[in-house]
Amino acid sequence: MHLIHPDVSELSLFIGSYPRLAVITGAGLSAASGIPTYRDARGVWRHSEPIKHQQFVDEHHQRQRYWTRSMLGWPAVRDARPNPAHLALARLESKGNISLLITQNVDRLHQRAGSNRVIDLHGRLDQVRCLECQARFCRERFQQELMLANPQVGGPAMSPRPDGDAAVADTIAGETLVPSCRACGGTLIPDVVFFGGTVPAERVQACKDAVSRADALLVVGSSLQVYSGFRFCRLAAELGKPLAIINPGETRADKLASLKLRSECERLLPAVAG
How far apart are alpha carbons 53 and 120 in whole angstroms? 18
103: which residues sit within 8 A by CB, 6+ positions away? Answer: 24, 25, 26, 29, 110, 118, 119, 120, 121
> What three-state secondary structure class fits 177?
coil
Whether 47 sits among the annotated catalytic residues: the reply is: no
Closest CA to 214 of 98, 121, 116, 115: 98
State the DSSP H helix or E strand holding residue 17, giving kind and residue range, or none if neither. helix 5-17
Q: Which of 47, 53, 110, 122 is catalytic?
A: 122
Angle at 210 between CA 123 and CA 111, to 5 degrees: 40
Amino acid at 217: L
How far apart are alpha carbons 113 and 155 in whole angstroms? 29
Catalytic residues: 122
